Amino acid sequence: MATNRNVAIVGGGHANWGERDATWKDLAQEGGKATFDAVPGVGPEDIEGLFVGAVQPERFAYQSHVAPMVAELLGIEVTEMIARTELACASGQAALRYAWLAIAAGQLDVALVLGVEKMNLGRDYMPEMQGSMANVLDREFDGVNGLSAPPFFAWYAQRHMHEHGTTREQLSQVAAKNKSNAAKTDFAHFQTEIEPEDVLESPEIAPPLHLYDCSGITDGAAGVILMSEEKAREVTDTPAWITGSGQSSMAGNSINNLPSFSGWPQARKASQNAYEQAGIEDPLEEIDIAEIHDCFSISEIIEYEELGFAERGGGGQFIEDGRSHLDGDVAVNPRGGLLGCGHPLGATGISQALEVTQQFQGEVSQGRHVADASTGLIHNLSGSGSVHSVMVLDRDPQ
């Protein structure tokens, strides 16, 4: 798929992530303000298009039609295009993709992409929250049988261990790496460095997964501003150019139709499409930073394989050899991933893209800065892992 104009992310910001005593509206305003504060010279009056990533605000915040509400809260009079995107855990990346395509097609020059999620409604609401999360699966068939996320991903872990010899220690190494990276990330939900043995000492949730193998239930927001090349060059000398994007779905929501329980061929297809657009032939050699969807520790191991960093079945060895650490072959999840930052669903993909942008710009903590990085990737899975989304960012336009 060809696009006509180069498109860049020029900057953005976060609300603080965690179990917040804040409303959905509060988070939207915090995230929006942080985004505008990070891009001097750009204000609400410059925004032509607004794209809001949000998952089930009707249930979490009892509010629908949230994109116009965000425009109102941030003082934006949208003149060209406005939409809310909903694709479960990939809602933020979907919003990015639509904004990118609108600018590339010449429909817009400047867009704000904001992801917002308010998931913690108090302990009394935990059963309702968990019930709402089951909506991303086939609720009629899978949800009523208790198939929430932890047992679903535990199946993947069990099968990957059975087929490829992946070890419990390798899962712990993923969780320890990402949570320790998050300790250097100021907005992250979890900011404590841990060791692999700490993961096994955390409570068991769904064998073989323990608590620290699972991403948190997190409130948060993240925003970025996208611009056409002409506009971007007026704002910054170090934008992040979107050079490729891919999506693939090989099933619906029902687990009965998934092609595998030890891999995601749909992630492989989505990444191949993105790589082809971006001109990447060898992702292991050419990708410097990868922000990937580690909703559970097993997810990252499988994604090493499907994104082309390791051979099939070699993901466990990839982490064991340190090849996904900050000083490894590919710095995977330097901000701390979902395991460390938390996972406010609609904000996650946007935060990933902002991390790559800020890495290029040198605006992250030196403790997790990837020196001389020039190419980055973001990846999200959504629903029952049936949909995978990949985007490639580069220091230089094509």
All structural domains of the chain with their residue ranges: 7-123+218-235, 146-216+245-394
Is 134 buried (19+), middle (13-18) or exposed (0-12) by CB count in 10 A?
middle
Is 346 buried (19+), middle (13-18) or exposed (0-12) by CB count in 10 A?
buried
Cis ω on the peptide bond leading into residue 208 (within 30° of 0)?
Answer: yes
pLDDT at 288: 98
Closest CA to 351 of 366, 339, 338: 338
Dump pLDDT digits (tens) for 236-274.
999 999 999 999 998 777 888 889 999 999 999 999 999
pLDDT at 124: 65
Query: Which amino acid, 203?
Result: P
Q: Which of 164, 210, 343, 388 is catalytic?
A: 343
DSSP-assigned letters across all residues of 241-264: EEEEEEEEESS-S-GGG-S-SS--
Task: Judge whether 7-123+218-235 and 146-216+245-394 match in fold.
Answer: yes
pLDDT at 331: 98
Question: In the structure, what pLDDT confidence band is assigned to residue 3 with cuts at 50, 70 and 90?
Answer: low
Q: What is the pTM of this model?
A: 0.97
Tell me yes or no: is domain 7-123+218-235 CATH 2.102.10.10. no
Does residue 210 have an active-site annotation? no
Task: Please give the CATH number for the structural domain made up of 146-216+245-394.
Answer: 3.40.47.10
Q: Which residue has tokens 């990937």?
A: 292
d(CA 138, CA 152): 13
Question: In the structure, what pLDDT confidence band is assigned to residue 169 with cuts at 50, 70 and 90?
Answer: very high
Does residue 341 have an active-site annotation? no
Dump pLDDT digits (tens) for 197-216.
999 999 999 999 999 999 99
Q: Does position 347 have pLDDT exceeding 70, yes or no?
A: yes
pLDDT at 1: 44
Q: Which of 89, 214, 295, 341 is catalytic?
A: 89
